[in-house]
Structure 1
Amino acid sequence: MAQTSVSIRMDADLKRQFDEFCSEIGMTMTTAFCVFAKTAVRERKIPFEISAERSSDPFYSAENMALLRASIAQMEATGGTIHEVDVDG
């Protein structure tokens, strides 16, 4: 798949904060924007609530973060396929 560069402008402080946030959740800014773009195109809407709340959310558990990092690495390496996750099952 051919790749291209996208250039965006944003406030320097916002960029720093977003870079720190991406690092905290185990992805690069490029990966975050690609995940957003692929999901928005597939669902034809902004597909998720944007939040930095970390209080007791199990999403941020060490186990889940490791799984996400492995999934992101696999997707970046192979082009991957996005699947929904059943957290109750």
Structure 2
Amino acid sequence: MAAKSANLYARIEPEVKEQAESILSALGIPASNAINMFYKQIILHRGLPFEVKIPSGKTLDMSVLSEKEMNAELEKGYADMKAGRTKSAKKAFADIRGDYHV
């Protein structure tokens, strides 16, 4: 294994750093090791080890919806169900696994 002698300086948002380091700490992984793993994955993939793209649809954060907005979203779902715009749970989970490579 090569000696670790190169330094990396990066400016990131304090909240992002704090949240990520909290998760890494719970996993028992020092931030420097995580960064090293990330760089190794970049090398293995010859690019970023995940897709970087603009989501095709607007992600809905239900925690910020008012009761009226929540009811409107539920009505949309009910209308889709009545119109037959549904898919089986098996298909939905297969799509999720495919989207997130799990």
TM-score (norm 2): 0.42
Which one scores higher on RCO, CA 8 angstroms, separation ≥ 6?
Answer: 1
Larger CA Rg, structure 1 vs 2: 2
